[in-house]
Amino acid sequence: MKTFLLFLVFFLAGFTVVSGFTYWHMQNSSSAVGSSTAVTTNFSLAKAPSESLKGTVASMSGTVTWLSRAATKPVQIHASHTIQQGETVSTGKNGEAVVTINNEAAISLSHNTDVNFIQLLPINLVLVQNDGAVTYQNSIQAPISVRSFDLLTLLTQGIVVISADQENKMVTITVQKGVATEGYKDVKGDSKVITLNAGEHFAFDDTTKEGTVTGMPGFVSNSSSPFGH
């Protein structure tokens, strides 16, 4: 029961953060239109909150782009780069990239993939992935929440691979190590929470709001980590 309530809190928090970020982005896009009266604020569009963590594009190949907090168009990057809360990293058809956070979490993007780092607060990392394939490796005590369409994946410690198909609105989750928790609402609006163990595969149809859990025959846990532990 405790585990369910904990996940429910992060489930609601994840959706709230994503919705709030979307609203903020829309407001920011139209901020140039309106009153010219000067307004004083401590909010910095160019700089993330001081308490948030920062990521680093530790390695890359092919085409990799970065969308800053203050920009409307991404730019291609060619070397190690700092990633702040609210920024996006994308890869092209021949691109790959690995973003590390505190040297304890790694987000490995395959080709044709984009990940939005919505929230990087120490208590909970919230990301959005609506296309492509990403391997998430988390050694941080704080959970990583990943939203793909209307599915939320929670990974506290372990390794999961998330593949999101934008065209067909399908998401697949493969747990290679540890435990992942999936949360979504069905067509009736009822909340569903599913726990996946290592060696299990979850396929979610965002159109029908249905998911299926299957085991992987001959599964061998992938315990390798870029951090050496």
pLDDT tens digits, 156-174: 999 999 999 999 999 999 9
State the pLDDT at residue 32: 41
From residue 19, alpha-carbon distances to 128, 136, 161, 175 in Å are 11, 22, 24, 27
Express each pLDDT in 118-142 by its tens digit: 999 999 899 999 999 999 999 988 8
Extents of the domains making up the chain: 2-29+55-215
Helix, strand, coil share (%) of the chain residues, nearest 5: 10, 45, 40
In this predicted structure, the answer to whether residue 43 has a pLDDT above a threshold of 90 is no
In the predicted model, what is the mean pLDDT of residues 149-161? 97
pLDDT in tens, 170-218: 999 999 999 999 999 999 999 999 999 999 999 999 999 999 999 988 7
CA distances from 228 to 56, 103, 137, 199, 200 (A): 18, 10, 12, 22, 24
Helix ranges (H only) for the chain are 2-29
The CATH class of 2-29+55-215 is: mainly beta
Task: Report the distance separating Cα 172 and Cα 180, nearest Å.
Answer: 12
Question: 222: part of which helix (H) or strand (E)?
Answer: none
Q: What is the DSSP letter of 47?
A: S
